[in-house]
A and B are shown apart, each in its own frame.
Chain A
Amino acid sequence: MPDDPRLTLLLALADDELVIGHRHSEWTGWAPHLEEDLAFSSIAQDEMAHARLLYELAEPLAGREPDALALGREPQEYLHAVICERPNGDWGYTSARQYLYDLADDIRLEALETSSWKELAGVAATIRLEERYHVEHAELWFRRLAEGPVQARERLASGLEQALPEAIALFEALPGEEALSADGTLPATMEHLLGRWLERVGADLEAVSLDYVLTRHTRLGDLVPTSSGEAEEGPTLEVPGLEREDGRWVHVGAFGGAGGRSGRHTDDFRELWDEMTGLYRAIPGATW
């Protein structure tokens, strides 16, 4: 783990963008129609550029060049949330994840625009202007699938059930977060941002009568800690840590799919990392 909490923050943000950008790029040539092929290719291009910008900001703190940060680290040194590394699955999961992720990204960038670290605030403002198009894209697909036909709605719902528990961990507390909050680098705690994200997600889901996915989900991934350390018998019927209080959804306690911010990842990332960094490792210092 980096010693400087500012570096931890930058790597968490940049790795999220790089890794989900890599997944988006896998739709190039395979999306359901040409416009979506272009859309995901273009969004991937944006996300990787945003990652690069954040790695450039991290360069003096890390003492490593942007390329080395993006491609020259071991898998356990990446600090993205686990949701970013999951395979694309079907269009329902892809749409659900993009919606949940880009909304989360928008909320944290909005907060970072007021960061006391001026360079980061400027970068966040620049990135957010472009992310606006990603959010619009995700919201359009969210509504279109939610409004049916039945198979589309079912696939979106099942994608949401699968993605939600791990999406919450996008807001897992960062190691060293207290120091970042104290000096205003991170103007709001991750837990606070999670609350704002949940409010928006909850309202959107209720508007299309899909809020039941907040209390029902498919089996969780392999990183979910249980109190006994063993898998519990039978399906759990709630996303860990979500409760409804005073008419809105709030987070209390546990995270599903946590660990990404400390470098704990699944085998899905091992495969992605192999491919993403293959050329960089095979021919160190290669230039285009």
Chain B
Amino acid sequence: MVTVVTLESRVRAALEAVMDPEIPTCSIADLGMIQRVEVGAEAIEVDLLPTFVGCPAKDVIGADAEAAVREAAAGREVRVRFVYDPPWTTERITAAGKATLREYGISPHWEGGPASGPVVVPLLSKKAGVPCPYCGSAETVMESAFGPTPCRAAHFCRACRNAFEGFKRKEPLLP
């Protein structure tokens, strides 16, 4: 029993050290992607939740996770797979994850509210007030929901005049 617990904690530690290749300061644990870890007598099974279905980093993350777990697996078989139930939501990102995102120049998007007052690009500035990760100002607008990766939107800060990215909000829809 004791050895199993030890192995499980080793496996978890290995998994938690896997970084998102597109946000190198943020681990997959901080992004809330680890859904299930099961250490069996013969095999270790890991279920991961992708942030966005079309995430091009998914294959790399899966391979990195598998390699990390294999190293800690003491010869057991390793099975890593992506699952979609429950859907991943932005609420799964930990407080530490939010801090590392901000550090990397990505604002956690869900802190903003709907746009109010005059906006420069009326079509695209649907959200405003997402805090700027550089200067902290809330004088910001979302310029497009479609940024450099499926999970990131493009914002602009009027205070420090920097473009920045925000993690796209993903949470259960109201009925």
Q: Is the CB of A42 within 8 A of B85?
A: no
Q: Is the CB of A129 within 8 A of B54?
A: no
Bin chain A's interface residue count. 20 to 34
Shortest distance in angstroms between A30's beta carbon and chain B's nearest beta carbon? 16
Q: Is the CB of B145 within 8 A of A136?
A: yes
Bin chain B's interface residue count. 20 to 34
Which chain A residues lie closer than 8 Å to B88 at the CB level?
126
Assembled-state Cα–Cα distance A180/B9 (Å): 45
Which chain A residues lie closer than 8 Å to B168 at the CB level?
133
The secondary structure that dominates the A interface is helix
Known: A45-B150, A48-B54, A123-B84. A129 touches B89 (CB 8 A): yes
Assembled-state Cα–Cα distance A38/B88 (Å): 24
A122 within 8 A of B: yes
Which chain B residues lie closer than 8 Å to A129 at the CB level?
87, 89, 170-173
Known: A35-B144, A53-B53, A136-B126. A42 touches B87 (CB 8 A): no
Q: Is the CB of A122 within 8 A of B84?
A: yes
Which chain A residues lie closer than 8 Å to B84 at the CB level?
53, 122-123, 126
A203 within 8 A of B: no
Q: Which of B53, B55, B123, B146 contacts A126 (CB 8 A)?
A: B53
Q: List 18 A-B contacts (CB under 8 A).
A: A35-B144, A35-B146, A38-B146, A41-B146, A43-B146, A45-B56, A45-B150, A46-B52, A46-B54, A49-B52, A49-B54, A49-B150, A53-B84, A123-B85, A129-B170, A130-B54, A133-B145, A144-B122
